[in-house]
Copies of this chain bind each other. A is one copy, B any other.
Amino acid sequence: MIYWEDVTVGDAAEMGSYAVTREEVLEFAGKYDPQPFHLSDEAAAKTHFGRIAASGWHTAAMTMAVIVRHVTETRQAGLGSPGVDLLRWLRPVYPGDTIYVAATVVDVTPSRSKPAIGSVRSDVVVTNQDDQPVMTFTSIVLMRRRSDE
């Protein structure tokens, strides 16, 4: 297992990728974000999107899928997250795109109240197949400390 003590500021990881399909974009938007520019090429053509674009929350969800696959494969002792900061949707994500997730650790802090836990802040950058950033955020993740074994 990778514990909080094993994480260092500056640690960088390419976490993997996710292929964005039209079917999934429409399914997610229909359920959670049924704004016209996420559901119809005609409606999207009247906006800066130009054609159907994924819901920003769908891009966040697909990014989370990549992150969870990575932390599971690398056996990180994650305990969930209290939140994220500065979530920005920088460019549309379109059906047919592939998104790539990279993260760099920017801060590690032991919990003041819980000696078994530490937190890790990371800058997450999501890019498309043309290497353009489409979404960024700062993640905050709680991890088990080695002393908790």
List B contacts of A35 (CB < 8 A): 68, 78, 80
**Is A100's beta carbon under 8 Å from chain B?**
no
Closest chain-B Cβ to A117's Cβ sits at a distance in Å of 10
A31 to B81, CA, bound (A): 18
- Per-residue B-contact encoding for A76-102, CB less than 8 Å = 1, 0 else: 001111111111111000000000000
**What is the 8 Å Cβ interface bit string for chain A, positions 24-45, against chain B (1 contact, 0 not)?**
0000100111110100000000
Counting CB contacts under 8 A, is A17 at the interface?
no
Interface size on A, residues (CB 8 A): 34
B residues within 8 A CB of A37? 80
Q: State whether A61 touches B68 (Cβ < 8 A).
A: no
29 A–B contact pairs at CB < 8 A? A31-B65, A32-B61, A32-B62, A32-B68, A33-B61, A33-B64, A33-B68, A35-B68, A35-B80, A37-B80, A47-B79, A47-B80, A48-B80, A55-B64, A56-B80, A56-B81, A56-B83, A57-B57, A57-B60, A58-B61, A60-B60, A80-B89, A82-B90, A83-B87, A83-B88, A83-B89, A84-B87, A85-B86, A87-B87
